[in-house]
Chain A
Amino acid sequence: MIFRAVEDADLIRKARQGDVEAYNLLISRWEKRVYNYLLRIVGEREDALDLSQDVFLKAYQNLRKLDDPARFAPWLFRIAHNEAFSAFRKRRPEGETLGEGEFPGLEVPGSGTTAFPMELSIAVTTALGKLNPEQREAVILKIYQGFKFEEMADILDCPVSTVKSRVYTALDLLKAQLAPLKSRGVT
């Protein structure tokens, strides 16, 4: 991870000097993570792909505003977070907010593969779908993207205590649904 951060910083420095290939390499390193984060937020592959392109374009245009290249990942995901919720606001009538359980239906990622059982994938997707949007995003950033709580606070623009509270509450809810499920041997 340290090596990766060092290499990212070098690529960012080159990209800032106009080296397009360096930025291409940066995209290829991060596109899968950004795409999957957005896919779990918006629930549609096509939307996630469009948003990913917007994120990388916006990141390229604002690369000079990145103060610390070592913090590229939280900065990039902050852009992704803003793009995703900006897209939600455009779709939904003004004043209407996202409620629990009415987040866009998550597709079952990986359903076309045999890498893991379909039932488990559906169970996880269903359990995530029962969280409220803030809890779900917190879980996605912590569990799937592996960010530290401080980095999540930067991405979500809220205190660390709030981030922790969202993750821990969500984890308790998920535990109630998933732990018994797996212990019963659904796999």
Chain B
Amino acid sequence: MSCSPFDLRDYLFGVLAEPDRRHVEVHVHSCAHCNEDLERLRLTHSTLLALRDEEVPQRIGFVSDKVFEPSPLRRAWQSLWGSSPKLGFASAAMLSAALVIFAFFRPAPAVSAPSADPAKIEQQVSARVTAAVEKAVSESEARQAGKAAALLAAAEHRFEQQRQGDLANMENLAQSVVVLQKQVNVSKSLVASLEESR
């Protein structure tokens, strides 16, 4: 059991602060047991290090080998994401393109989504049908009233023309009667004058 003020293994691995290291060194210098313990730790460490690293028997498959090589598209994509200015430019270009496309192909105004309630849908449909029927009926009635008014006006016009014609005929007939009456009177006066002359 070590009587060192600090763990000798901490000292070996260099995790002690400088003042603590000095404490250990002073103690080990005066304590044969701890000195031997530390020597054995150092010996163990150096013995372990005698087992050296091997060379790699063959090179590790590099990513430049065809099987690992990224496609040109992927490299371009990686390059784009790896560069802030390029990424910023690409973002601005995409935003501009999106604005232009939106300006040319503006979507139709969104129709409000129908209610999911079937009763409401039925009520809305019924109301729309009623309104459409009422509108159609009123339009039809208006068209019929217009036609009737036109026909009535035409009939009145024809009746007035006919009445005017009849009146003119009656006046002509009355004038003819008057002329005929005058002729009769003249004839009567001629006859009377002849009889008086005989």
Contacts and interface: CB of A to CB of B under 8 A. Distances in A.
A125 interface: yes
Nearest to B79: A18
A17 B83 contact: yes
A52 interface: yes
Interface residues of B, number: 37
B85 to A, nearest CB: 13
B133 to A, nearest CB: 67
Interface residues of A, number: 47
Given A109-B53, A168-B9, A56 B60 contact: yes
A114 to B, nearest CB: 12
Contacts of A21: 64
A98 interface: no
A181 B41 CA distance: 13
A111 B50 CA distance: 12
Contacts of A60: 63, 68
Contact of A124 (B7, B15, B50): B50
Interface in B68-116: 68-70, 74-76, 78-79, 82-83
Contacts of B62: 20, 23-24, 27
B88 to A, nearest CB: 16
A89 interface: no
A171 B78 contact: no
Interface in A96-126: 109-110, 115-116, 120-121, 123-125
Nearest to B42: A179
Contacts of A175: 40-41, 43-44
A111 B32 CA distance: 37
Given A110-B51, A115-B52, A144-B53, A171 B60 contact: no
A49 interface: yes
Interface of B: 7, 9, 13, 15, 40-41, 43-45, 47-64, 68-70, 74-76, 78-79, 82-83
Interface of A: 13, 16-18, 20-21, 23-24, 27, 31-33, 35-36, 39, 45, 49, 52-53, 56-57, 60, 109-110, 115-116, 120-121, 123-125, 128, 139, 142-144, 149, 167-168, 171, 174-175, 178-179, 181-183
